[in-house]
Structure 1
């Protein structure tokens, strides 16, 4: 800056057009934070020496009632040498590898949000603070290409920038939006907040980075196996070509893709896409959820896949709301997905789709109680048995019940049995009646017990009191493999109908003097014990 004026060199009517670009409040506010972060990083050697805290602090105050937004930072400040560039539209910095690569952010955001804005800044080591006032109506009416700068003497050690937006436009945030704005900004700058570089305060609230819990569990195909943290480190690159097929660089992705401990439908699930340390177009509940990585919308995989990817080689829109080159971007993600699938060491997508979190003891007991009650209710209903041709049966001397044959426990089932022994579940007995016809009635007592993983699905005995006793083994492998059978009323009813028919069939065959009925159950249980 060589005088008490600063160039805003562009046709003033161009500024008016910025009011109508597609943008979001948090993206507009993020431009001020980007400038502060880049200023802090560019002068970190100096600021570290004078600030023991070694932290950038950005405070945003949104006062809807007073129609004013204030953004204050303690970065280096805008120096005299950099002042013209800061206010000339699209005056691109020499180093375009930072967060202020387009030279448009502060100007565009300020015009998008307000009719009148003021920038007061003091650079460290300089003796004057500078203040500029930009009134969009005056600039366009008078076709102004320069604006006056007010100077005042200041402490050489001070360093700050204060942007004040007044006469807010129709793009201003509404009161109900402010919590949403906070969450998006916390998400956009989560890395800087997490790394301790940035204190970001919005309306007196210090924003925090929320760390999501990654699933730690056995592989769904081996539920009794060792637990694994389901997080895959990503370090992937692919060649970048120009329109003539010549390689001009590489696309690069670094970060992780994992599985959430708890499913989410709209906030935690999905992937944060970073560029130069800040999120691009995928903050908070707008995370990146492509079908190739997250599966069908609404599926378990969609609700569980999450991650963070720092990308390089891709261009972004000047509002930093999206990545450019959609085709190349989509192709890169597909190639990365294929690379993940080839790696058999961690089946991220299979686990995300098929893993079911084990129920708590209370949840298991409630589902088991419902199952036993439903079986009893089904048995209590009159049974319509169709007539069938008479068949010769083996001569039976008695109807004693042989011992139930159990499958030999495998090492895996034995370890699972030991692990679950502390979660024994006993369901109170329910007495009901089996009425195969108008003249016959049999007493049946049903209960459920978590006996052993290598015992059969059920047992049936007739005691001296003349009653039959059926015990449903809630630890049978069937309930582990088909957990969904106990997850809804309809599934429980279907399972109850299946077990009811097995129990009643055996009971009626025993009453008919057919010994093979129990042999069938023994063999059936032998197979179920091996599930």
Structure 2
């Protein structure tokens, strides 16, 4: 309901309003579009933090915190998105700059330096958007409705700004997006918010800001996990857990002191084209490797431009290929406050050679930790080597029942000298790689089962860890007459990443690969011409998978 003291004032929104149509075609990603709104909120907060703290301190409240609510609502008119903050708010001049094209903020060293983000992101999201705001200490609230379709169609050059009287102690901005062009994805909303949280993780860790996502699709507020709340204000904010760095254990590396934390600070100056760029932050090695989450997060003015949660910066000149230990462990936060950014603030404008100069500067800084990473990899077993004998035996017991055969580890065959030299040679590379500790590879095994004619089939299974393989599974004939075959599971295949870091996943995919290979070989030996029938393979693998699931369930019940 409008305040009885409301008044209207026309606001000139020229230049040509047709430019709004182009904003709909921007190449935003949802989390970066939402970040445009959060940038405005945080800029308002940081530019006026001292005033806000003084105001709340006078009321006995210490440590004012910015709160940003991202609300996704379904009502009788359809879907809408609201962004509500308790920042300093806008006076009439700042409100005008938020609406009028080409109006830049007075302070150009903040996060809303271009003065375009709210307009572009709001129009990208919605055909109709409105904003209302009041500044702390003002008794006036300003609001405006931007009906983009109507503005473009009619070519109007002004919109009405409504002014209402409010309590001068209030301060907020409410942005409402309606008639949506882009909706928030139904799936992976948690990942969307993780990406947004990653962008502002420094603010969150400093407890300057809290970000809350709430959804109301049927009268009840829910968080991203579906938990229900009476009010969106009761939903806990997103948090960020800092990366745990690697701490060197006793005797783990020669000439490296026990307890050494693998993190070092960066404080450099890069001179490029006559401009000095101050570069600060840190690099380090993750305690737990992650192909998805390792890498550098590149910040500008306290806000991540590249990375932050995932999709971190990993130049090949430093990280090498995706199978390297460096690729999984090297991480860091690097501040590039003076580097130019694109308008969407989802990347740097450094194609003039600045990026190459930056990488060249980083290479010697990262050299020590790359060396440590490589030494650690020699000493540290990968996931498939962390699989215990008990885990391997449990998996083999299930497969034996499903395939109706026997499974013997290569360890046992070697110790009993019950393995042909040419077969053992297949594993010689692994014997060398793992310092003759063949027993660490408990999953390498010989699988014997019968075909339709009751004759034995022998399959030799091997795990491969070669980086960047082209095939996920290799099946080859060792001796057709004696029905001996080999199949290798390439756990470093791109499709398996980052799951191949999980030993339980490796057992799962090993069981599946065994059933798949058995189905193919069974079909082959059952054919007079050694041809593989896809229908019989499908039928066989379906039966094996059902049997696998049943046996796994029974094993869990017994445990």
1:14 aligns with 2:19: yes
SS of the residue corresponding to residue 234 of structure 1 reads strand
- Distance in 1 of aligned mates of 2:74 and 2:186: 7
Between 20-29 and 295-304, the greater mean CA deviation after superposition: 295-304
SS of the residue corresponding to residue 244 of structure 2 reads coil
User: What's the CA shift for 1:115?
Assistant: 0.6
Alignment of 1:340-359 (within 5 A): 340-341=366-367, 347-351=371-375, 354-356=378-380
Counterpart residue number, 1:202: 213
User: What's the CA shift for 1:328?
Assistant: 1.2
Counterpart residue number, 2:302: 277
Q: How many residues align?
A: 392
Between 227-236 and 23-32, the greater mean CA deviation after superposition: 227-236
- Distance in 2 of aligned mates of 1:76 and 1:296: 47
User: What's the CA shift for 1:97?
Assistant: 0.7
1:378 aligns with 2:409: no
Contact 2:245–2:263 at 8 Å: present in 1 too? yes
User: What's the CA shift for 1:232?
Assistant: 2.2
- Distance in 2 of aligned mates of 1:191 and 1:337: 25
Render the CA deviation track for 1:230-263: whole Å, top value 9, x for unaligned. 112222221121xxxxx1x212321111111112
**Gapped regions of structure 1 (runs ≥ 5):** 242-246, 386-477, 495-531
1:189 aligns with 2:214: no
Counterpart residue number, 1:106: 118
1:33 aligns with 2:38: yes
Contact 2:330–2:369 at 8 Å: present in 1 too? no
SS of the residue corresponding to residue 312 of structure 1 reads coil
User: What's the CA shift for 1:301?
Assistant: 1.7
SS of the residue corresponding to residue 217 of structure 1 reads coil
Render the CA deviation track for 1:343-385: whole Å, top value 9, x for unaligned. x599445346545159999967759999x97555335456999
Contact 2:286–2:330 at 8 Å: present in 1 too? yes
User: What's the CA shift for 1:337?
Assistant: 1.2
User: What's the CA shift for 1:488?
Assistant: 5.7
User: What's the CA shift for 1:117?
Assistant: 0.7
Output the aligned Cα RMSD: 3.5
Render the CA deviation track for 1:89-146: whole Å, top value 9, x for unaligned. 2312232110010000100011000011110111111111111000001111121221
Counterpart residue number, 1:265: 291
- Distance in 2 of aligned mates of 1:384 and 1:265: 38
Q: Which has the larger radius of gyration?
A: 1
- Distance in 2 of aligned mates of 1:483 and 1:254: 44
Alignment of 1:267-346 (within 5 A): 268-326=293-351, 327-341=353-367
Alignment of 1:442-481 (within 5 A): none
Counterpart residue number, 1:167: 179
Counterpart residue number, 1:144: 156
Contact 2:80–2:180 at 8 Å: present in 1 too? yes
Counterpart residue number, 1:252: 278
Counterpart residue number, 1:62: 72
User: What's the CA shift for 1:177?
Assistant: 3.9
Q: Would the alpha carbon gap of residues 109 and 358 (structure 1) be closer, same or farther in structure 2, given more than 3 Å must change? A: closer
Contact 1:220–1:351 at 8 Å: present in 2 too? no
Contact 1:299–1:353 at 8 Å: present in 2 too? no
Q: Would the alpha carbon gap of residues 265 and 136 (structure 1) be closer, same or farther in structure 2, given more than 3 Å must change? A: same
User: What's the CA shift for 1:159?
Assistant: 0.5
Contact 1:27–1:319 at 8 Å: present in 2 too? yes
Contact 2:389–2:442 at 8 Å: present in 1 too? no
- Distance in 1 of aligned mates of 2:346 and 2:17: 25
1:45 aligns with 2:71: no
What is the TM-score with the length of structure 2 in the denominator? 0.63
Contact 2:302–2:335 at 8 Å: present in 1 too? yes
- Distance in 2 of aligned mates of 1:127 and 1:363: 67
- Distance in 2 of aligned mates of 1:256 and 1:384: 53
User: What's the CA shift for 1:223?
Assistant: 9.9
- Distance in 1 of aligned mates of 2:261 and 2:316: 23
Counterpart residue number, 2:101: 89
User: What's the CA shift for 1:68?
Assistant: 0.5
What is the TM-score with the length of structure 1 in the denominator? 0.66
- Distance in 1 of aligned mates of 2:79 and 2:146: 17
Counterpart residue number, 2:242: 211
Counterpart residue number, 2:487: none
- Distance in 2 of aligned mates of 1:33 and 1:307: 24
User: What's the CA shift for 1:313?
Assistant: 2.5
User: What's the CA shift for 1:3?
Assistant: 7.4
Contact 2:129–2:178 at 8 Å: present in 1 too? yes
Q: Would the alpha carbon gap of residues 144 and 224 (structure 1) be closer, same or farther in structure 2, given more than 3 Å must change? A: closer
- Distance in 1 of aligned mates of 2:419 and 2:286: 47
Alignment of 1:403-414 (within 5 A): none
- Distance in 2 of aligned mates of 1:382 and 1:313: 67
Q: Would the alpha carbon gap of residues 378 and 91 (structure 1) be closer, same or farther in structure 2, given more than 3 Å must change? A: same
Counterpart residue number, 1:486: 440
Render the CA deviation track for 1:300-327: whole Å, top value 9, x for unaligned. 2211111111113311010001011133
